[in-house]
Chains A and B, each alone.
Chain A
Amino acid sequence: MTPAPTPESAEVGAPPPPPSKKPAPTLDSKGPQRYKMLATWLLFLIVLIACFYQVDANFFDLFSVNARDNMNRILGEMVRPDWSYAEDIWEPMIETVQIAIAATVIGSILAVPVALLAATNVIPKKMVSIPVRMVLNLVRTIPDLLFAAIFVAVFGIGAFAGMLALVFFSFGLVAKLTYEAIEAIDPGPLEAMTSVGANKIQLIVFGVIPQALPYFFSYVLYAFEVNVRAAAVLGFVGAGGIGLHLDQQLNSLRYDRASIIILITLLVVLLIDYASTYLRRKLL
């Protein structure tokens, strides 16, 4: 069973889904298929034009004198970064990464029992899996910035609200990917564990976990990557991290300082992405 692509897995560097046993569907472009294709493209075009119209998309604006002047001014300031500001930015940058680490760890730990409950090959009871999946889907439909805004309102401005938002986000992400990985594991060892007289927990410890663990770790690393990127913008709603400083500098039109923040964020995110991708490749 190949899951529908989720927004996360559509992103660059998404972890590969666990191997699926179904053969790939073959495409046959003959007969009525051709008309279907034409109709699909037509519909797509209509929707696209309707959207352009609705958002007042105007390609001439891209090349207007006004836009060109603004661009020149901002870029002109940005290519001369205020290097002295860098030392003020390391601390919030580290805080950003710390938010991501704490949130990933807590969210992923919470995801383990929930992923097991949602996997129908571990708990073959619809009474359990359906409500658990409903809660998971609900958590995953709420964007992380919305979580952050809510928690800022509840717990006040600061990194704690941001971390809490990302806990929910990583929990939803890791739990969903993990339960799908669990459902794709080899059923043989589960049958073997049942036959040796293992109870449910022993079956999980000896049959499920050793098979699903590398996938789980890979998803945790992936969640961490996404969290670092998310934590960098949480500050815009007051939830701590480097985004707060970026917001301030942008509002006071200090593009020379904004550019140093962007540069450092880019550097850190790139480093973490690279390390995480490398580790994930080693794992699987």
Chain B
Amino acid sequence: MMIEFKNVVKQYPNGTIGLNNINLKINEGEFVVIVGLSGAGKSTLLRSINRLHDISSGEITIDGKSVTRAGGKQLRRIRRDIGMIFQSFNLVKRATVLRNVLSGRVGYHSTFSTMFGYFPKEDTEIALDALSRVNIREKAYIRADQLSGGQQQRVSIARALAQKPKVILADEPVASLDPLTTRQVMDDLQRINRELKITTIVNLHFIDLAREYATRIIGLRAGEVVFDGPVSEATDAKFAEIYGRPINEDELLAAEAAKGGVTV
């Protein structure tokens, strides 16, 4: 699926500019990492793709179909094809892992059949397959709050996979994880991108991690795209430009890991 931003502007009611005239084309199968300081508009950009945030003007299209003008059932159909992974996992903690993953399937069923929590057998299989892909199938019948942070994030990846998505959006997926589980989760995302050819867009604040996993890096600063290119062009000097200052230690996962005494 190709995602296209045309003159996208997001202005908040208080006048703050979130996104300033964004023009982007993201092609099928890419692994795009968006970098930038907090407040640069990374999260707004990501959330405007599945309309968790509305934009003020311009248009976003997916395979030529407008997300901006979609509504009701059409919008829900578009969202169904886009898996999303959040910094805080956003699982129902009291529910089982399987139940959480199955909730990714609701877009495929009528209101009535899902109202009583009924899912056909194929769905359970899709959910269990998704769990296998992130190597936690054996946790299927455990309550989500019994799992570690890294495992919970993999459950949320499985929930996204159960949607059979064409695009995966990940908003700071590793920001609340330790360096070791960070790698496992990023490896999972990379493997899924390669094996299933799912277009993947990830917000990250670790520069070395961005360089390691991305096929393309987009730099945002104050709501504007200030860098867009392959990893080979994203030098330290370029990052300093994106950030408007030299790179800090804490923007490197390796430095974080050394601090915590974990070898990566």
**Inter-chain contact A214/B103, CB cutoff 8 Å:** no
B side interface size, CB within 8 A = 33
- B-side contacts of A192, CB under 8 Å: 84, 86, 90-91, 103, 156, 159
Known: A195-B84, A201-B115. A210 touches B90 (CB 8 A): no
**Inter-chain contact A194/B52, CB cutoff 8 Å:** yes
**Inter-chain contact A197/B86, CB cutoff 8 Å:** no
**Inter-chain contact A197/B107, CB cutoff 8 Å:** yes
Q: Mark B113-136, 1 if CB is under 8 A from A, else 0.
A: 011010000000000000000000
- Smallest beta-carbon distance B127→chain A, Å: 13
Q: Mark A164-199, 1 if CB is under 8 A from B, else 0.
A: 000000000000000000000010110111111111
- Smallest beta-carbon distance B120→chain A, Å: 16
**Inter-chain contact B94/A211, CB cutoff 8 Å:** yes
**Inter-chain contact B82/A198, CB cutoff 8 Å:** no
**Inter-chain contact B92/A189, CB cutoff 8 Å:** yes
Known: A196-B159, A199-B76, A201-B111. A191 touches B94 (CB 8 A): no
Q: Is A207 close to B, CB under 8 A? A: yes
Known: A191-B52, A202-B106, A202-B111. A196 touches B90 (CB 8 A): no
Q: Which of B99, B104, B111 contacts A196 (CB 8 A)?
A: B104
A5 to B198, CA, bound (A): 52
Q: Is A271 close to B, CB under 8 A? A: no
Q: Is B227 close to A, CB under 8 A? A: no
Q: Which of A197, A205, A206 contacts B77 (CB 8 A)?
A: A197
A202 to B90, CA, bound (A): 16
- B-side contacts of A206, CB under 8 Å: 92, 103, 106, 114
- A-side contacts of B104, CB under 8 Å: 196
Known: A196-B107, A214-B94. A205 touches B114 (CB 8 A): yes
A186 to B95, CA, bound (A): 13
Considering the complex, which residues of chain A in the window 235-264 have a beta carbon less than 8 Å from any beta carbon of chain B?
A: none
**Inter-chain contact B82/A195, CB cutoff 8 Å:** yes
A189 to B78, CA, bound (A): 19
- A-side contacts of B103, CB under 8 Å: 192-193, 196, 198, 206-207
Closest to B169 in A: A195
Closest to A201 in B: B111
Closest to B76 in A: A197
Q: Is B193 close to A, CB under 8 A? A: no
- A-side contacts of B83, CB under 8 Å: 195-196
A207 to B103, CA, bound (A): 9
Q: Is B89 close to A, CB under 8 A? A: yes
A198 to B52, CA, bound (A): 13
**Inter-chain contact B90/A198, CB cutoff 8 Å:** no
Closest to B50 in A: A195
A192 to B99, CA, bound (A): 14
Known: A195-B50, A198-B106. A188 touches B76 (CB 8 A): no
Q: Mark A192-235, 1 if CB is under 8 A from B, else 0.
A: 11111111011001110011001000000000000000000000
A270 to B169, CA, bound (A): 55
- B-side contacts of A197, CB under 8 Å: 76-81, 106-107, 163
Q: Is B88 close to A, CB under 8 A? A: yes
- A-side contacts of B50, CB under 8 Å: 195
- B-side contacts of A202, CB under 8 Å: 106, 111, 114-115
Known: A193-B106, A199-B76. A188 touches B94 (CB 8 A): no
- A-side contacts of B106, CB under 8 Å: 193, 196-198, 202, 206
**Inter-chain contact A191/B107, CB cutoff 8 Å:** no
Q: Which of A186, A205, A214 contacts B115 (CB 8 A)?
A: A205
- A-side contacts of B91, CB under 8 Å: 188-189, 192
- Smallest beta-carbon distance A211→chain B, Å: 6
Considering the complex, which residues of chain B in the window 150-202 have a beta carbon less than 8 Å from any beta carbon of chain A?
A: 156, 159-160, 163
- Smallest beta-carbon distance A204→chain B, Å: 9
A211 to B103, CA, bound (A): 14
**Inter-chain contact B80/A188, CB cutoff 8 Å:** no
- B-side contacts of A207, CB under 8 Å: 92, 103
**Inter-chain contact A211/B107, CB cutoff 8 Å:** no
- B-side contacts of A193, CB under 8 Å: 103, 106
Closest to A208 in B: B92
- B-side contacts of A205, CB under 8 Å: 114-115, 117
Which residues of B are interface residues toward A (Cβ below 8 A)?
Answer: 50, 52, 76-84, 86, 88-95, 99, 103-104, 106-107, 111, 114-115, 117, 156, 159-160, 163
Please name 13 further chain A to chain B contacts, defined as beta carbons within 8 Å, in addition to the given A197-B106, A197-B163, sorted by A numbering. Answer: A186-B93, A188-B88, A189-B92, A192-B84, A192-B103, A193-B103, A193-B106, A196-B83, A196-B160, A197-B79, A202-B114, A206-B103, A211-B94
Which residues of A are interface residues toward B (Cβ below 8 A)?
Answer: 186, 188-189, 191-199, 201-202, 205-207, 210-211, 214
Nearest 3 A/B pairs, CB to CB? A197-B80, A197-B107, A188-B90
Q: What are 16 A-B contacts with C-beta separation under 8 Å?
A: A189-B90, A192-B91, A192-B103, A192-B156, A195-B50, A196-B84, A196-B106, A197-B77, A197-B107, A198-B76, A201-B115, A202-B114, A205-B114, A205-B115, A210-B95, A210-B99
